[in-house]
Chains A and B, each alone.
Chain A
């Protein structure tokens, strides 16, 4: 106690004041940290407040001019790669065998290589597959077909259940859906985070016991694409009378697993007009097949190549001109690969060339199998005799379609696609061996001639399509109905 007693009272006052000053400064530091943390939350200051489900891309464009302007470039149709590109290529004209393979299904009427997202709504209105529903006669497609075409779908899903949205014929929502695929399809209007807006993907994850909310940002850069670029079918039994969009992933991702799933449901998209086989139409399993390849295994997301970083002036942003990386090698491939542009393109074409070579062979076998099966029916074959043959044809064409409809798959997963095509050739071979035996029993001694399907017109005539009528009806529909839809939509949007 002696030492303490020796101290003067002012010493304790100093100690008190010094501690208080330190605590004060520490408090200031804490306030500064909090302040700068808050800054981070407000880095993004929108020009305009976006409503939940705002479908008009131009409104989003006011906040994000660069992203929006690059998105607008998806309107461009001038790029042509060796096999595809951004223009609407009439694939039935390019390859009339497709007409035979899809006989009895809407794809035999009209199938064009898809254009950019900007044209999504125009293209679904204009295709013959959606028919010309006028004057109260319901069209051939359900509203489910709109699901992937527009951010207006996000708006409507905010107002109703998915089942209610899918319900009814395609033309009933024509006036509602006018904005082409855009911002709200993948982005949250408040945070701009990537979001899954389409229920089918969330449901598919749930059925596999996975929660899509746990996906990382890098996974989301592929999963937002997987909302649409996937194999799907319409489940008509979930809710009676409604075509519910469903992803057939319950047994797995591969062509074989998806086929097992369809077989277990006894599902077929249509009965083939020539062979009467119960067919499955592969839609566009682009996400599935891309996950089977080396790029996905190395953690590359769809956006890494199809929407790479872009610099403009002093700013960098994600290029929303979603397109073939073949048109943008420098920003996509060459971020990782240090080879010459021409060499990289040659690498892609080599894979495409070789796989398309095999796929074309399978295609010819399938045309022959359909035509031969048709002949067998004409000669009085029974259901029992045809059962295994039709099953083989179904298997072979599913494999062909899975590799053809998955577009980039010959590059994304060349090894798996080659295996699937090889498997398809075996199935088609089996079908034709059985058919040869059956036809011989029915007295056919020579080869069934290959039909003259050298042009789209000849092929469509061969399967009995009245193209003149279909085209005329569609032209009338475009003249009468679509302007009406646009007018109604303009009235609605003026009230937003």
Chain B
């Protein structure tokens, strides 16, 4: 243990610059954490998904759909079979999204990937199971009842649920969407006071 520490610790004459550099590194890390609203990614708030403005059409169409009453983004787009899987999938999907977004690789029309499709479909079934599966029928028709009922993708028929078919990046130019600002409220207040001062 001591040997390891000795290996990492810089020689005395290097300690000051290294401490400063590490301080810059940590501070920059904290800054990135704050301005990217990183903590918000642990929540289920739809505002979190709006951290990237390319999600505006998805948010706006959800807000105008009947699903807004019962489900937020995460209810459909992350798995809910267990909490570990939920955050694993969220982290995996989120990291990919942030990579694309940072390098401006987002396509004009964002389409769901097959892993996401599976999650969404499972979640359709999770809520709508009583509509889909009739236990009595299932008992009688043993062979392929379940597969017939849930085999297809729900949106093969329910094409407009809930985001509709018009979802390009420029589909909702004037949608009013909420934003999570990384600027703390007291600072905004202070800035507004400054502005109104003669």
Could you list which residues of chain A lie within 8 angstroms of chain B, going by C-beta atoms?
A: 1, 3-4, 12, 15-16, 19-20, 22-23, 26-27, 29-30, 32-34, 36-37, 39-40, 43-44, 64, 67, 192-194, 217, 298-299, 304, 308-309, 311, 314-318, 335-336
Contact = CB atoms under 8 A, between A and B. Distances in A.
Given A36-B52, A309-B64, A315-B166, A67 B174 contact: yes
Given A33-B36, A316-B164, A23 B25 contact: yes
Contact of B176 (A3, A4, A217): A217
Contacts of B24: 23
5 contacts: A3-B7, A4-B6, A33-B36, A299-B69, A311-B164
A4 B32 CA distance: 33
B166 A311 contact: yes
Among A26, A44, A64, the most chain B Cβ lie within 10 Å of the Cβ of A26
B174 A64 contact: yes
Given A43-B53, A309-B61, A315-B171, 14 more contacts: A3-B7, A4-B10, A15-B18, A26-B29, A26-B32, A29-B32, A29-B102, A30-B35, A33-B102, A36-B101, A192-B174, A298-B69, A299-B69, A309-B64
B130 interface: no
Contact of A19 (B3, B25, B32): B25
A4 B25 contact: no
Interface in B142-198: 164, 166, 168, 170-174, 176, 178-179, 182
Interface in B32-64: 32, 35-36, 52-53, 56-57, 60-61, 64
A26 B28 contact: yes
A316 B17 contact: no
Chain B interface extent, by class: 35 or more
B66 interface: yes
Contacts of A37: 35, 182
A451 to B, nearest CB: 51
A304 B69 CA distance: 13
Contact of B174 (A15, A36, A314, A317): A317
A316 B61 contact: yes
Contacts of B64: 304, 308-309, 335
Contacts of A316: 57, 60-61, 164, 166, 171-172
B31 interface: yes
A39 B54 CA distance: 10
Nearest to B28: A26
Contact of A315 (B22, B29, B173): B173
Contact of A336 (B3, B66, B172): B66
A270 B61 CA distance: 49
A317 B56 CA distance: 12
B171 A314 contact: yes
Nearest to A4: B11
Contact of A314 (B14, B25, B168): B168
A26 B27 CA distance: 10
A121 to B, nearest CB: 26
A33 B32 contact: yes
Contacts of A43: 53, 56, 173
A33 B21 contact: no
Nearest to A2: B6
Nearest to B56: A43
B3 A3 contact: yes
A23 B32 CA distance: 11
Nearest to A194: B176
A20 B21 contact: yes
Contacts of A26: 25, 28-29, 32
B65 interface: yes
A29 B33 CA distance: 11
B3 A27 contact: no
Contacts of B170: 314-315
A335 B101 CA distance: 32
Contacts of A315: 166, 170-173
B102 A22 contact: no
Contact of A335 (B53, B66, B166): B66
B171 A40 contact: no
A12 B8 CA distance: 11
Contact of B65 (A22, A34, A335): A335
A311 B163 CA distance: 12
A15 B25 CA distance: 13
A16 B53 CA distance: 37
Contact of A32 (B3, B102, B171): B102
Contacts of B10: 4, 12, 15
Contacts of A318: 174
B166 A314 contact: yes
Contacts of A3: 3, 6-7
A192 B175 CA distance: 10
A-B pairs, top 3 by smallest CB distance, nearest first, are: A40-B53, A336-B66, A309-B64
Contacts of A34: 35
A344 to B, nearest CB: 14
Contacts of A15: 10, 18
B173 to A, nearest CB: 7
Given A4-B11, A299-B69, A217 B21 contact: no
A308 B164 CA distance: 14
Nearest to B25: A23
Among A39, A192, A194, A309, the most chain B Cβ lie within 10 Å of the Cβ of A309
B174 A23 contact: no
